[in-house]
Structure 1
Amino acid sequence: MSVAGSLEVGLIEESFNARYSLWITEALDELPDNFTITDPCLSGHPIVFASRGFLKMTGYSRDEVIGKNGRGFQGPMTNRRSIMEIREAIREERPVQVSLLNYRKSGSPFWILFHMSPVFGKDDGKVIHFVAVQVPISGQRHHRSGFGEDWSDRCETAFGSCRREVSSGSLVRSGRSLQLEWDEKAELENWEHCEASECEKLRAVAAINNVLSVLTHYSELTGRLVCGNRCCSPRTGFLSSSLIISLCRVKQSFVLTDSRLPDMPIVYASDAFLRLTGYMRHEVLGRNCRFLSGADTDSLVLYEIKESIQNERSCTVQILNYRKDESPFWNLLHISPIRNASGKTAYFVGVQMEISCEKVEAKGLRPETRQLSVVAAVRVAVRGSSMAASLP
């Protein structure tokens, strides 16, 4: 397994191990419901747990699902409005219940009642996970009058020949192009929203409560309690799940520190930063960046960094840093203030590049240009998040 692959597995395991006791996965496996658990703090908002019922319903193995984003189960006839409702609920960190057309591994479509709810840290109000329950919708309530009785067979014929496989966080079609046996445009125009019954809606709520009950119980054993309702406002320094998801799209090595907190602790660290330094995320968050310094780090460079932060201005330096295994590396470090929508400095972003790697890179953007692109992306994410938070 590659270093990147090992890191990804470690981060997914940490998603549970850092919050719940060791028996959490066994307890969740005993639940009969179809559900997944995702972590918005990890790059791509991946699935970190999938129930046996969910795997049986979709035809995937657990290895094919873990680490992938839930959008991979959507397809060409999935309602875009329903997807936007889910995204909006994630941004606002609230529950949502919608009817959704998903696709099995075989390619065949099926309707579900999708009920998603956030899981909050009881002590800090931070979103830890999202639980998504999927209840199959029975009956043919999504058909308009005039559809033939062989609709299910035609769906199976059209979509079943096109196998769907998990790849790079989404499910992609392989083999020959999808050939519909009917006029696709006409069918899509007649495709009606599928409404779940009251019984199915109650089943979804009961399933969510079952999962939350297990998560709450096993968090009590570690003393890091979770709950289904936000018990307190998120503390300063904790990022919203929507901001974290936006930051996860930036693939270069960087950290975000909160200038409003004592000692300016790290509140976000990218996966690339973790790969560069060898640390796990929980070993980084809450610490000042000086832990990367060591015996041979130039104190004059550290002073230059301190001066630029105090004056709220950008700087670029070459500094000798140390990984977790204590091996040194030369770091081309760019630091820049990040202001919120009101124009006040809320964070500092530090973008790291190992100089030895950049010297042998013959093509592509200059290191300084790449660093500035990271700063720009982070600035857009922070301002967008702060503007959204100010809306009524």
Structure 2
Amino acid sequence: MESQSALIEQSFDGRYSCSARDALDDLPDNFTITDPCIGGHPIVFASRGFLKMSGYARDEVVGRNGRIFQGPCTDRRSVMEIREAIREEWPIQISLLNYRKDGTPLWMLFHMSPVFDQDGGAVAHFVAVQVPISRRWRRSCSANGRNGVNLCEEVGGALRDVVLGSCRREVCSDGLAELGRISAFGSVLDSDSRGVEAEEPCEASDSEKQRAASAISQIMSVLTDYSKSTGRLVCGERC
């Protein structure tokens, strides 16, 4: 039986080649790539921007479950929406509260999209882009009374048990463990984001939503190009 590390390496390098890592790291975006076919739905790639943003080293993240990014105020309902998107193999864009390694909370726009095998049509990976929601926009939303849900409900044991995901067999049978903190965060945390309160939920701005969508498009372009070199072609939609 192959080790977890061997499965993770094969998941990425066997599909895109190791050269794809440098190409992805050259992108300015903050994102992770996960494999739902490996038990525990681990992260198989984390971008340089994500690592800087989250405060983790690459070897602390790759192979791990998204549970490490959760905190006491990660919203359970948002987690369930992500769970449903993974189970149905849909893209999703949603506001989410995650935490850096040092415990700093961060509101971000989480945009996840499936990557499909071009031949069989099965999901090979999920790409998750994270774009921090600006404090100015959060304050504007709060002023208009759009505070969202109470993010601190159902804290404690239930949230501590939330996980990023599992293989699709587990998703279908047991339900994917709540993935509140999938893959990490968005761009480098700027000074305006420090000190953000977890009690300030808000939707992302239109420009932040567009930024996330554009990032997904760029990442998919890189993955598609490099999958040609291995003969294991992928695409952004089920073919």
- TM bin, normalised by shorter chain, reads 0.7 to 0.9
Unpaired runs of 5+ residues, structure 1, are: 146-168, 172-186, 232-392
The answer to whether residue 45 in structure 2 is matched with residue 49 in structure 1 is yes
SS of alignment partner, residue 114 of structure 1? strand
Q: Give the TM-score, by structure 1 length.
A: 0.45
The answer to whether residue 27 in structure 2 is matched with residue 31 in structure 1 is yes
- Cα distance in 1 for partners of 2:66, 2:84 equals 15
What's the CA shift string for 1:73-95, capped at 9, x where partnerless? 12111111111110000000010
SS of alignment partner, residue 44 of structure 2? strand
| Percent sequence identity over aligned pairs | 67
Aligned match for 1:108, one of 94, 104, 110: 104
- Cα distance in 2 for partners of 1:102, 1:89 equals 18
Correspondence for 2:75 = 79
What's the CA shift string for 1:361-391, capped at 9, x where partnerless? xxxxxxxxxxxxxxxxxxxxxxxxxxxxxxx
- Cα distance in 2 for partners of 1:111, 1:193 equals 7
- Computed over aligned residues only, the root mean square deviation of the Cα atoms, in angstroms, reads 2.1
| Higher percent of residues as strand | 1
Correspondence for 2:215 = 207
Q: What displacement does 1:140 show?
A: 4.3
The answer to whether residue 145 in structure 2 is matched with residue 137 in structure 1 is no
- Cα distance in 2 for partners of 1:105, 1:218 equals 31
- Cα distance in 1 for partners of 2:26, 2:10 equals 21
- Cα distance in 1 for partners of 2:18, 2:102 equals 34
Q: What displacement does 1:72 show?
A: 2.0
The structure with higher relative contact order (CA 8 Å, sep 6+) is 2
Aligned AA for 2:63? Answer: G
Q: What displacement does 1:32 show?
A: 1.1
Correspondence for 1:253 = none
- Cα distance in 1 for partners of 2:19, 2:61 equals 21
- Cα distance in 2 for partners of 1:23, 1:97 equals 29
- Cα distance in 1 for partners of 2:43, 2:112 equals 13
The answer to whether residue 215 in structure 2 is matched with residue 219 in structure 1 is no
Aligned AA for 1:211? Answer: I
Q: What displacement does 1:114 show?
A: 0.2
Q: State the number of aligned residues.
A: 187
Unpaired runs of 5+ residues, structure 2, are: 144-164, 166-178, 182-196
Show the 5 A alignment for 1:285-300. none
Q: Give the TM-score, by structure 2 length.
A: 0.73
What's the CA shift string for 1:200-222, capped at 9, x where partnerless? 00000000011100000000112
- Cα distance in 1 for partners of 2:53, 2:17 equals 28
SS of alignment partner, residue 72 of structure 2? coil
Correspondence for 2:84 = 88
